Amino acid sequence: MIIEQIWTANSLRNFNYLVACPATGDALAIDPLDFRQCLAVASDKGWRITQIVNTHEHADHIGGNKALAAATGAKIIAHHAAKDRITDMARGVGAGDRITVGTSIELECLDTPGHTMSHICLLSRTGPPALFSGDTLFNAGVGNCHNGGHPEELYKTFDEQLCRLPGDTVIYPGHDYLVNNLRFTLDREPDNADAQALLDECANHDPQNARTTTIGDEHRINTFFRLQSPTVISRLLEKFPQMSPTPEKKEVFLRLRELRNSW
């Protein structure tokens, strides 16, 4: 499996992806907002874009669909519940469905509500484990729930699915928010040496050559994975004194998401 991460350099800091089968040259485009770059990369590599996957229905993820499909004939795939919001969707998918690319790639669809209620992530089942996480999980952060989502559903997605993925799963998110997310972790957990070390390494990183993280990294550097950290809990109690001194993980997650909304 060949993964090409495409930095759009737009104000929203989007990443687009091409996932190509080395045996056939067939490629899948994930959230191809910058369709021109996607076409240019595919042409340069000698790949044929045959499918488009949208992780969810927001405009900065589906905005390139029409032009890319017109140029390539690629079929559009997304969550089955987004069919009324994504034009010309050819296939609706849900939890456990598989998307194949060429002869060597199989991606499993995870139904991951929270950022929106019709969001999917793609988990590679061939080659090194990889998760194309859209706006559900970012490097060192999580998605917001402002436009059609729900924080309790986002917590459930994390608790029941993402936290349980193998530690060596590499995360390919929909946006580059790594540095700011690390700063939020350190705001909530100033004694997190792993987050501080990564921030020192990446403070001036080039998104064109983005630093990836793994699920294992996230358990160390992402405050939304660190719901039982004594420091995280004690600092939340300063903001929310009505909390129990031994809160459930769900309450910690929801309070962190509330703080992140205005941080």
Instruction: Tell me how far CA of residue 229 lies from CA of 167, 194, 209, in angstroms.
Output: 19, 14, 31
The pLDDT value recorded for residue 139 is: 98
The pLDDT value recorded for residue 128 is: 85
Max Cα-Cα span within the chain: 59
Query: What CATH class does 2-262 carry?
Result: alpha beta
The pLDDT value recorded for residue 260 is: 97
| pTM attached to this predicted model | 0.96
Quick: pLDDT tens for 50-89: 999 999 999 999 999 999 999 999 999 999 999 999 999 9
Q: Which residues of the chain have pLDDT under 50?
A: none
- The number of helix segments (H) and strand segments (E) in the chain equals 9, 14
Half-sphere exposure of 250 (CA within 13 A, CB side): 8
Sequence length of the chain is: 263
State phi, psi for 166 to the nearest 5 degrees. Answer: -55, 145
Q: Are 146 and 82 in contact (CB under 8 A)?
A: no
